[in-house]
């Protein structure tokens, strides 16, 4: 909490520098393309899309606006439930807004990791609040895979 005037060696321990460096990473620099599906699609469609795109969750949208999120776990639950997965719409299996945990592009990747660990979810839609409609526009996704990739990238820094 002291004022920073350029870069200088302040006597901080490695761990302090570490935390500071890590908390500077932004969601917008690490997010990936959102894999979306509409709420009218069936659970079967969702499972097929999930395998084709090889992701662990799909973001459910209407006109690019966030409606919900559906995970492998949600779909597995329905798949063993005995119903006809071709007939059941994905919106019966998904977690629905406002219960979806989201993150915005300017938030720290650290905050995204905190949210995933705290809420025990594997991915978050990256959203931008829509001033007019009051909804949330989906602009990306981050997942625990995103965090693992950032972790690897940071671990690759070596003395040069």
With beta carbons less than 8 A apart as the criterion, state whether 72 and 55 touch.
Answer: no
Cα torsion 132, 138, 140, 145: sign? positive
Residue 29 in contact with a copy of itself, rule: CB under 8 A = no
Query: Which of 12, 62, 65, 70 lies closest to 44, judged by CA?
Result: 70
Nearer to a copy of itself, 33 or 80 (CB): 80
- Of 14, 22, 17, whose CA–CA distance to 113 is shortest? 22
Q: Position of tokens 């592009």?
A: 105
Establish if 83 lies at the interface with a copy of itself (CB under 8 A).
no
By CB under 8 A, tell whether 106 contacts a copy of itself.
Answer: no
Q: Which residue lies nearer to a copy of itself by CB, 17 or 133? A: 17
Which x/- pattern, by CB under 8 A, does the window 35-74 give for a copy of itself?
---------x--x--xx--x-x---------------xx-
Nearer to a copy of itself, 104 or 111 (CB): 111
Among 65, 79, 92, 97, binds a copy of itself (CB under 8 A): 79
- Strand ranges for 57-98 from DSSP E: 57-62, 65-71, 95-96
- CB of 109 vs a copy of itself, minimal distance in Å: 8
């Amino acid at each position: 909490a002291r004022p920073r005037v350029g870069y200088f060696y302040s006597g901080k321990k490695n761990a302090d520098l570490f935390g500071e460096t890590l908390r500077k990473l932004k969601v917008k620099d690490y997010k990936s393309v959102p894999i979306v599906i509409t709420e009218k699609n069936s659970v079967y469609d969702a499972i097929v899309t999930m395998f084709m795109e090889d992701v662990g969750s799909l973001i459910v949208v209407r006109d690019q606006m966030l409606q919900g999120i559906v995970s492998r776990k949600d779909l597995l639950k329905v798949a063993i439930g005995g119903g006809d997965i071709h007939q059941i719409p994905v919106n019966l299996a998904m977690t629905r807004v406002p219960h979806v945990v989201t993150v915005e592009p300017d938030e720290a990747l650290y905050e995204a990791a905190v949210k995933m660990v705290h809420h025990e979810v594997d991915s978050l839609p990256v959203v931008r609040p829509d001033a007019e409609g009051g909804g949330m526009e989906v602009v990306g996704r981050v997942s625990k895979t995103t965090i693992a990739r950032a972790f690897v990238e940071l671990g690759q820094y070596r003395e040069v």
